[in-house]
Chains A and B, each alone.
Chain A
Amino acid sequence: MDAGLTIILLCSLVAASGALLGTFLVLRRMAMLSDAISHSIVFGIAAGFLMFRSLDTLPMLIAASATGLLTVLLTETVLRTRLVKEDAAIGIVFPALFSLGVILITRYAADIHIDVDAALVGEVIWAPFDTIFIGAFEVSRALVTMAVITLINLAFVGLFYKELKLATFDAALAASLGLMPALIHYALMGLLSVTAVSAFDAVGAILFVGFVIVPPAAAYLLTERLWTMIAVGIGIGVIGSLSGYFVALALDASISGCMVMMLGALFLLALLFSPSRGLLAAYLRRRRQKWEFAAQLLTMHLLTHEGHPDEAVEACTSSLPGHLNWGAAFTEKIIHRAQSRGWIDRVGEQLRLTDSGRVQARSLRKA
């Protein structure tokens, strides 16, 4: 298989399997647990290697899931003392395990291919060259592993979709219904560890977090249903991997680094331009409200002076900026707005309320 295609597929699978689980981490505000787990598994990999004397897939996966659960359990134990807050508890546990892993590698396993640089950002470039045969097809070993992991994650989320949803939204109700949210939680963490160690060679400990958290965080801004959040998250992950690969070729830079950078860029786009929750939409909404309010204020002003001797002055376009303390351009804009809403008529410099404008102003006065 073509090396470039292998890398793109492999990283897309990392992103897809990451987004499947990451969605629930983001919604449970446990995003940083993925950071903790992806670092702690360095300890798992080192300890697993020393115990089994091999870097085969299966022992690694077992060691990794054990370490992932150990991370969660240790964090909860520290937390249960009530002397340390949650973020600090995470920050205490994972560097300890990570550094222990680094020490084990440098002291006892210096001859194996793990080195500390690769542990951080991965070496996806090698993935296409370590191959196995499936029938007559020669395919990348990492790609096969990642495909299996993605299928497992997909099956887990598909089968336990309802349980995951309730455990995330309302763990108390889930527990009272007997749907064991704690078990779901540990299963999620176990799978996250397995996914992290499978993705480890490709993207490393730090960048894995980008694949798990950034796509769901962006999807969260773009969707209103859980399953669309998952689907859009996977989509963003794949687009980020694909575009990141070509950016990396163009810049001759780290592939996984460019992919996570592209994911960050996609998140930024979502943050700015999400139609419902984006910053631009919020800005436009606020500006529209401000204009609407000003146009309403104008109808009130006109109603107040309607039929009074000072009407000619107060309802005159040139006097409005002074009386309402508005800039001239803004005043002009608001007059246009009130006209287009059918609230006022303009005759030369004089403004008059229409019937509907009068109704509008009276309803405001009552409110």
Chain B
Amino acid sequence: MASDIPTLAINDLTVAYREKPVLWDIDLEVMPGALMGIIGPNGAGKSTLIKAILGLVKPASGEVRIFGKPYREQRQLVGYVPQRSSVDWDFPTSALDVVMMGMYGKLGWVRRPGKAERERALECLDQVGMTAFAERQISQLSGGQQQRVFLARALAQDAQLYLMDEPFVGVDATTEQAILGLLRRLQGQGKTVLVVHHDLETVSSAFDQVAILNVQLIASGTTAETLTPENLRKAYGARMLTRLELPTG
């Protein structure tokens, strides 16, 4: 990929549910190799932003481009980790099978995953330390293990841009470390990663860049320059901030 084309370019994006704007005139460019946290209060439209990038919600105006082209032409380049709670984990299937779902897009219609896909899925499980659980029914995994299966599934998508919706919610310390390590590895491979994040205290240690969102884009850029009390006050309101330990770095 030519490095002067942004991985992700969002221009004047507005998303509305029944005339109520959820995202209002968002402009955001993310360059290859960025590891960016998306933060903002509840209802700020963080998940909606990810869904709009993936074409899962229709924008009222504006456009999203992935390496210069619309999403539907670039599906293969984008990996998605939805919120863990968005699926029913009692579904009768194994961890390995869930990981293989990440390759369904490349397989296309009707073609079934085979031996090659199975081996690739096992590699992805290995990268998140879940090899031992490959054949386990997914309902028997802990929350953190389920999250790691989701990450392995995104790895199986073998994408250039990864969109992750709250991967740190409700996970144990082992999983948190595993996710952080994985994010760094992906960045090291030149991939671009966008992570919806809710924990302000860990933002600066986990992400180089940050986008602060509250319906509008409040600010975006390097974590050091963007994560200022001023910007956070704009996003979260003054009252909220008195309770927050503001990161100073």
Listed in ascending order, the chain A residues whose CB lies under 8 Å from chain B are 27, 29, 159-163, 165-166, 168-170, 172-179, 220, 223-226, 228-229
Across the two chains, which residue of chain B brings its CB closest to A161? B112
- Nearest opposing residue in chain A for B113, CB measure: A162
Given contacts A160-B110, A170-B87, A170-B101, contact A176 B75 (CB under 8 A): yes
Interface pair B91/A176, CB less than 8 Å apart: no
Contact with A along B120-160 (1 / 0, CB 8 A): 00000000000000000100000000000000010000000
Closest to A219 in B: B92
Most interface-central of A173, A226, A229 (chain B CB within 10 A): A173
Taking A165-B101, A176-B55 as known contacts, 12 extra A-B pairs with beta carbons closer than 8 A to each other, sorted by chain A number, are A162-B110, A162-B113, A166-B101, A173-B80, A175-B55, A175-B56, A176-B54, A176-B105, A177-B75, A224-B93, A226-B93, A229-B92
Contacts of B88 on A, CB cut-off 8 Å? 27, 29, 169
Interface status of B193 (Cβ within 8 A of chain A): no
Closest to B54 in A: A176
Contact A178 B112 (CB under 8 A): no
Contacts of A177 in B (CB 8 A): 75, 104-105
- Contact among A163, A169, A172 with B93 in the assembled complex (CB-CB below 8 Å): A169
List the A side residues contacting B94 at CB < 8 Å.
224-225
> Which 9 residue pairs across A and B have the least CB separation, nearest first?
A177-B105, A224-B137, A176-B54, A169-B91, A170-B87, A176-B80, A229-B92, A226-B92, A178-B75
Residues of B within 8 A of A170 (CB): 82, 86-87, 101
- Find the B residue at minimum CB distance from A28: B88
Question: A225 to B105, Cβ gap below 8 A?
Answer: no
Chain B contributes a number of interface residues (CB within 8 A of A) equal to 29
Interface check B78, CB cutoff 8 A: yes
Residues of B within 8 A of A169 (CB): 87-88, 91, 93, 98, 101
Give 1 or 0 for each of B67-92: 1 = CB within 8 Å of chain A CB: 00000100100101010001110011
Closest to A226 in B: B92
Instruction: Choose among B92, B109, B153 the residue that contacts A225 (Cβ–Cβ < 8 A).
Output: B92
A170 vs B102: C-alpha distance when bound (angstroms): 11
Contact A27 B91 (CB under 8 A): yes
Contact assessment for A162 and B93 in the assembled complex, using a CB-CB cutoff below 8 Å: no
Complex Cα–Cα for A171 and B111 (A): 18
A236 to chain B, nearest CB (A): 15
Q: Is the CB of A162 within 8 A of B107?
A: yes
A153 to B154, CA, bound (A): 31
Residue A220 contacts which of B87, B92, B98, B107 (CB distance < 8 angstroms)? B92
Q: Considering only CB atoms, which chain A residue lies closest to B71 in the complex? A: A176
- Report whether A179 and B93 are in contact in the complex, using a CB–CB cutoff of 8 Å: no
Taking the nearest CB of chain A, how far is it from the CB of B194, in angstroms?
14
Whether the Cβ atoms of A172 and B80 lie closer than 8 Å is yes
A-B residue pairs in contact (CB < 8 Å), sample of 16: A27-B92, A161-B112, A163-B109, A163-B110, A165-B101, A166-B101, A170-B82, A170-B87, A175-B54, A176-B78, A177-B104, A178-B72, A179-B105, A179-B109, A220-B92, A224-B93
Contacting pair B107 A165 (CB below 8 A): no
Interface string of B48-66 (1 = CB under 8 A from A): 0001001110000000000
Nearest A residue to B110 by beta-carbon distance? A159
Say whether A172 contacts B86, CB under 8 Å: yes
Contacts of B75 in A (CB 8 A): 176-178
Report B95 CB to chain A, min CB distance, Å: 12
Instruction: Report the nearest A residue to B78, measured CB to CB.
Output: A176
Minimum Cβ distance to chain A for residue B67 (Å): 16
Cα A178 to Cα B93 in complex, Å, equals: 22
Task: Choose one: A160, A168, A174; the contact of B91 (CB below 8 Å).
Answer: A168
Q: Which of chain A's residues have a CB closer than 8 A to the CB of B51?
A: 172
Residues of B within 8 A of A225 (CB): 92-94, 97
Q: Distance (Å) between the CB of B75 and the closest chain A CB?
A: 5
Task: Tell me if B104 and A166 are in contact (CB < 8 A).
Answer: yes
**Chain A residue contacts of B107, Cβ below 8 A:** 162
Contacts of B153 in A (CB 8 A): 173
Contact present for B87 and A178 (CB under 8 Å) = no
A163 CA to B72 CA in the complex, in Å? 18
Q: How far is the CA of A175 from the CA of B72 in the complex (A)?
A: 11
B104–A179 touching, CB < 8 Å: yes
Distance in Å: Cβ of A364 to nearest Cβ of chain B: 22
